[in-house]
Amino acid sequence: MSVFVIAEAGANHNRDFKQAISLIDAAKAAGADAVKFQTYTSETLYSRNTPDFAGYRDINKLIKDIELPREWQKHLKFYCDEVDIEFMSTPFDEKAVDELVALGVKRLKISGFESTDPRFVRMVASAGLPIIVSAGIGSNILSINNIISWIKLEQKDPDITILHCNNAYPTPERDINLSRIDNIKHCYPEVKVGLSDHTEGILASPLAVAKGATCIEKHYTLSKSLPGPDHAFALEPNELLEMVRLIRSTENMCKDTDSPLTESESRFSKAMRSVVASGKIKKGDRFSLSNTTTKRPFLPGNVHASGYYKLIGKIAEKDFEEDDFIPGGNTL
């Protein structure tokens, strides 16, 4: 299965519809599988009594200023369908879930902060769609177990993707802890595992794919210089394009096949060794360690070097001169 790449537009539309359309175009051009927005209102996201925190003096006003106009959603979904990229949006309240389900989205996403809330997780899971969950702030194996358990209360056989996630924006490299992907895969083999990447730059996501991540979520913007809280640490279109390219290259490099001989190696197969006579061998003689050796090249229809000891003791059916190949059809 190909790695599912989510280009996280989030709030980087800046409440400009044309900018939102341009974000979809950029995600499509980069080769992402989906573009994701966020559906919330300040009234249902934060209490009116929220004190100042994280450097924001009035968080309610900030959220109000970056809300996705709800009437846009059907138009954005229609445009995504037109250009053949999946439309997604993270819901942050029950009405948002209902709206997105009515639009026909293929899956729902739960953010890292909301994934610690059993009421919210169960409400999203009750929609019955596949769920991608960013493992919450300060998450560990126990908290991930809670998330999975809450979903299973609402769905009998859920399709779950757990995204390892550090909820710092941006995440320092020292804190990304990609080894957590190995832990989740080991403890919960029934779920798919990915990365919600909040680091700056493009290195972490391909590394996560090398560790077995099957879903990558990454914030992007049209320009880091645009106003708003999420532009500065997001990728610009050329960076998103390069990240997706590296993810696809990493996928190809990490593929495992049962074939001992790859397509690219096949033309070099003659550089292997065959069994040859090391001196004269007469018909009726037995092949021995003293009258045979191995040399390049390997030619189909002759005994491959790997069959050397199986040949020893058998009787020659014709005469051989030094360096003659020993026929036998032994191949890899």
pLDDT digit string (tens) for 176-198? 999 999 999 999 999 999 999 99
pLDDT, one tens digit per residue, over 197-226 is 999 999 999 999 999 999 999 999 999 999
Q: What is the dihedral of CA 95, 99, 105, 109, to 10 degrees?
A: -20
What is the average per-residue pLDDT within 252-261?
A: 79
Spatial strand order of the sheet with 131-134 comes to 86-91, 34-39, 4-10, 215-219, 192-197, 160-165, 131-134, 108-110
pLDDT, one tens digit per residue, over 47-78 is 888 887 656 678 788 888 889 999 999 999 99
Domain 4-254 sits in CATH at 3.20.20.70
> Do 208 and 216 form a contact (C-beta atoms < 8 A)?
yes
**Is the pLDDT score of 266 beyond 90?**
no
Domain ranges of the chain: 4-254, 261-332
User: For position 331, what pLDDT does the model report?
Assistant: 47
> Do 228 and 66 form a contact (C-beta atoms < 8 A)?
yes
User: For position 140, what pLDDT does the model report?
Assistant: 82
Alpha carbons within 13 angstroms on the beta-carbon side of residue 297 total 8
CA distance 326 to 285: 13
**Is the pLDDT score of 330 beyond 60?**
no
Closest CA to 141 of 193, 87, 67, 216: 193
CATH architecture entry for 261-332: Alpha-Beta Complex (3.90)
* Angle in degrees, CA 317, 322, 327, rounded to 5: 40
β-bridge mates for residue 275, sequence order: 294
List the end-to-end C-alpha distance of the chain, in Å, as a whole number: 29
User: For position 174, what pLDDT does the model report?
Assistant: 94
Per DSSP, the three-state class of 325 is strand
pLDDT, one tens digit per residue, over 277-310 is 999 999 999 999 999 999 999 998 999 999 999 9
Q: pLDDT: is 73 or 329 the higher one?
A: 73
Query: pLDDT above 90 covers what percent of the chain?
Result: 81
What is the average per-residue pLDDT within 245-254?
A: 96
Helices (H), ranges, the chain: 17-30, 42-45, 59-66, 72-83, 94-103, 118-125, 141-152, 179-187, 204-210, 237-254, 308-311
Give the tokens for residue 329. Answer: 């059809």
**Is the pLDDT score of 138 beyond 80?**
no
pLDDT, one tens digit per residue, over 19-46 is 999 999 999 999 999 999 999 988 888 8
Average pLDDT, the chain: 93
Q: In whole angstroms, how far apart are CA 331 and each of 80, 260, 270, 291, 307?
A: 52, 12, 11, 21, 8
Give the tokens for residue 264. Answer: 């690219």
